[in-house]
């Protein structure tokens, strides 16, 4: 029973591809009913078809990049569900540009989606999370950060690394606030995984990255699925405020 999610309801934002899809796959396989939320409705439907062979999946094409979008989604979910056991804040964006020409529009897009939207979703979905949690089995929030929020990245992604570092600390702040309300809040900080966001980097540097990672490879889908199930099942009920690097040890390497 340590890793069983039967009867749980989960939301995974940005769940149609990449790390979000990996997380959703693990939750569904463990027995959870999962709402996949993505701005790309077609991709969300396709992902739901794939995961639907394993369990219950509900695709929702929704834009969570604005306060209005977050509020509308929170109200919509509340009209369908009385409780929410698991919230995975994964939807994110990045933007790279030289310091001198880094655009304000890029900064706002990344920080708003990566940091503001998770906070707004916690606010909006808090009543559902509180109804689901108990002292023995708290509701769970898992924020998807990045190892670029733990260390200085090589790439000029100023807003991305700053927003992920902010999300890590927001995780700690919320963990203290919500722990006594029977909700735990943790974060995972993935290293290199196959995803749309990482596609160009892996195309150019996968060999170098694999050599730099202490375990000698990039991440696989099961690596994300495993840590997500751990944090959201009985096995992780006493973990609160942790930021877990899922990177094969890459964030410990001085040069990568």
Residues labelled as active-site residues: 160
List residues bridging with 143 in a β-sheet: 89, 187
Which residues lie below 8 Å from residue 80, measured CB to CB, with a gap of 6+?
A: none
Question: Distance of CA 152 to CAs 142, 144, 227, Å?
Answer: 23, 18, 24
Distance of alpha carbon 88 from its chain centroid, rounded?
5
Stated length of the chain: 256
Residue 241, by phi and psi: left (phi above 0), alpha (psi -120 to 50) or beta?
left
* DSSP structural state of residue 219: B
Tell me if residue 168 falls in helix, strand or coil: helix
Q: How many helices (H) and strands (E) does the chain have?
A: 8, 7
């Amino acid at each position: 029973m340590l890793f069983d999610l039967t009867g749980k309801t989960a939301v995974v934002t940005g769940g149609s591809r990449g790390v979000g899809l990996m997380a959703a796959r693990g939750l569904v396989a463990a027995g959870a009913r999962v709402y996949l939320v993505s701005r790309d409705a077609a991709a969300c439907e396709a992902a739901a078809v794939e995961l639907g062979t394993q369990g219950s999946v509900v695709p929702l094409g929704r834009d969570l990049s604005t306060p209005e979008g977050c509020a509308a989604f929170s109200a919509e979910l509340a009209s369908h569900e009385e409780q929410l056991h698991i919230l995975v804040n994964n939807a994110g964006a990045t933007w790279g540009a030289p310091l001198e020409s880094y655009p304000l529009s890029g900064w706002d897009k990344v920080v708003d989606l990566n940091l503001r939207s998770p906070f707004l979703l916690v606010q909006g979905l808090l009543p559902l999370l509180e109804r689901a949690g108990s002292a023995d089995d708290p509701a769970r929030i898992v924020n998807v950060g990045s190892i670029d929020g733990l260390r200085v990245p090589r790439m000029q992604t100023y807003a991305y690394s700053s927003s992920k570092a902010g999300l890590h600390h927001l995780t700690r702040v919320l963990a203290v606030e919500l722990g006594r309300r029977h909700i735990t809040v943790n974060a995972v900080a993935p290293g290199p995984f196959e995803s749309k966001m990482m596609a160009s980097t892996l195309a150019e540097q996968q060999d170098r990255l694999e050599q730099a990672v202490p375990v000698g490879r990039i991440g696989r889908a099961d690596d994300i699925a495993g840590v997500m199930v751990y944090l959201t099942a009985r096995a992780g009920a006493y973990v609160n405020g942790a930021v877990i690097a899922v990177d094969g040890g890459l964030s410990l390497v001085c040069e990568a």
